[in-house]
Chains A and B, each alone.
Chain A
Amino acid sequence: IQMTQSPSLLSASVGDRVTLSCKAGQNINNYLAWYQQKLGEAPKLLIYNANSLQTGIPSRFSGSGSGTDFTLTISSLQPEDVATYFCQQYNSWYTFGAGTKLELK
């Protein structure tokens, strides 16, 4: 299943509300996860089942969507949120989007 993320690069300021998009090539029944990868580190799970927050992840992160269209929202961007964000479907095996790189403006 093809996963398409947009934009590929996003510049935002501290305190901004940030929205990242992920579209699946077919219905994935909300079997969607979001990961954060900081430079030189392994990916870290943020959200699973489209909208469930992983334990220990700040509440400024939230996920929404259903079917084929999904969104990761950061309610108030912090400097430590600079990273690349990947979505991943697990409805049919496992495929990832190409990522959105989030930088500070």
Chain B
Amino acid sequence: QVQLKESGPGLVQPSQTLSLTCTVSGFSLTSNSVSWVRQPPGKGLEWMGAIWSGGSTDYNSALKSRLSISRDTSKSQVFLKMNSLQTEDTAIYFCTFMYTTDYYPDWFAYWGQGTLVTVSS
């Protein structure tokens, strides 16, 4: 069955770079796509960006200048890197499975458990 699991540091200092890994199983990154979604504590959900099955990426325009998503298909891993972190980037970060192979109307069918990232000195 489809599974996703996020990992990464729980604490990041302001102005530093966040690096997260999403390890997937039950599907191939060359057949489906993965998006990252984040949720500040007690608040709503924000789509951050996606990596499509062909390896291309798209980003939320509000984060595009700071965000990079990549993958290692041999390890079934997707990576998120975001620089210049501020306190407002404190959130739970989720990776999600999408059936689509490229940008196309599609929903987030499966979610990882999420990882809390706190930006603080």
Contact = CB atoms under 8 A, between A and B. Distances in A.
Specify whether A and B are partners: yes
Contacts of B106: 90
B109 A96 contact: no
Interface string A62-104: 0000000000000000000000001010110111111100000
Contacts of B94: 42-43
Counting chain A CB atoms within 10 Å of each CB, which of B94, B108, B112 scores highest? B108
Nearest to B61: A93
B47 A93 contact: yes
Interface residues of B, number: 18
Interface string B85-108: 000000000100000000001111
Given A42-B112, A42-B114, A94-B35, A48 B107 contact: yes
Interface string B23-49: 000000000000100000000111100
Interface string A29-71: 1010101000001111100110000100000000000000000
Nearest to B60: A93
Interface size class, chain A: 20 to 34
B112 to A, nearest CB: 7
B44 A31 contact: no
B111 interface: yes
B108 A88 contact: yes
B120 to A, nearest CB: 21
Counting chain A CB atoms within 10 Å of each CB, which of B35, B106, B112 scores highest? B106
B105 A45 contact: no
Interface of B: 35, 44-47, 58, 60, 94, 105-114
18 contacts: A31-B105, A33-B107, A33-B108, A41-B113, A42-B94, A43-B108, A43-B111, A44-B111, A48-B107, A48-B109, A88-B45, A88-B107, A88-B108, A90-B107, A91-B105, A94-B108, A97-B44, A98-B44
Given A43-B94, A95-B47, 7 more contacts: A33-B108, A35-B108, A42-B114, A45-B109, A48-B109, A86-B44, A97-B44
